[in-house]
Structure 1
Amino acid sequence: MIYFVTPTGNSTLTPGQMLSINVVVRRLDLALINELTLDLIDSSDNNVVWRHYVPSTNWNPATGATGEWKDSWAWTIPTDFKRGDYHLRAYSDAKYNSMGETGSILREATAHFKVANYTEMLF
């Protein structure tokens, strides 16, 4: 499972504000989480406007795969950022080997928020 602990403290952001992202990935079966990709997507046209890629998440050379992995990122919303609705999508590919059978399972989580211009934020 993938959890967004706090995608942002407020669901409406303005250009120049910081978007804080905290992600927790939990695997009860201790499968190796091969990679994690975070995409910030413009909901109006489904274009990816920001991407963060982590090649390997829960592998510890001393102990092997661990059941949980977490990390945080911060991204400043550009001042020329288009206002509108966005969603943050995290997805990971977990590799497993069960009784001689190998495969992978894709896990995904999504959080939604809005970007407004400065005048919309002045009440």
Structure 2
Amino acid sequence: MKKWILLIVLASSFSAYAQQAKAIASSKTNTTTTTSNVSVSVSDDDSNYAFAASFDKQKTSSAKKEIVTIFGEPATEGKYFVWRKGENLEIKLREGRVSIEFEKGDQKLYDKVKSLGDSVSEVIGSKK
């Protein structure tokens, strides 16, 4: 008799679990998820400022507009748009990636470069 009761309890538990699992699975099919991948790295020490970011490719034109606003039109080197100011500054942009390398020395230029890093972070969707 105890075996029958145990079997009935187990069968009903399994049945309830199966119904619950089915309900969860059907509710997930109605969910849409949008993902965005943004990675930003900034290094700012006494002698150098470095900024590197990877982001969704569709944000590349927005990042380019920010750079063009401050540093003008770029040169093109293969897949890269490149901006240079002497030997102290190099900015490289390609689809979904940007890097800034600046050797400090000119405070005005540093302020522009730092501001550029902040504005690029904003347009590519990085949260501060």
- Is the helix fraction higher in 1 or 2? 2
When the two structures are superposed, what TM-score results if normalisation uses the length of structure 1? Answer: 0.33
Larger Rg: 2
When the two structures are superposed, what TM-score results if normalisation uses the length of structure 2? Answer: 0.33
Tell me which of the two structures has the higher relative contact order, counting C-alpha pairs closer than 8 angstroms and 6 or more residues apart: 1
- Is the strand fraction higher in 1 or 2? 1
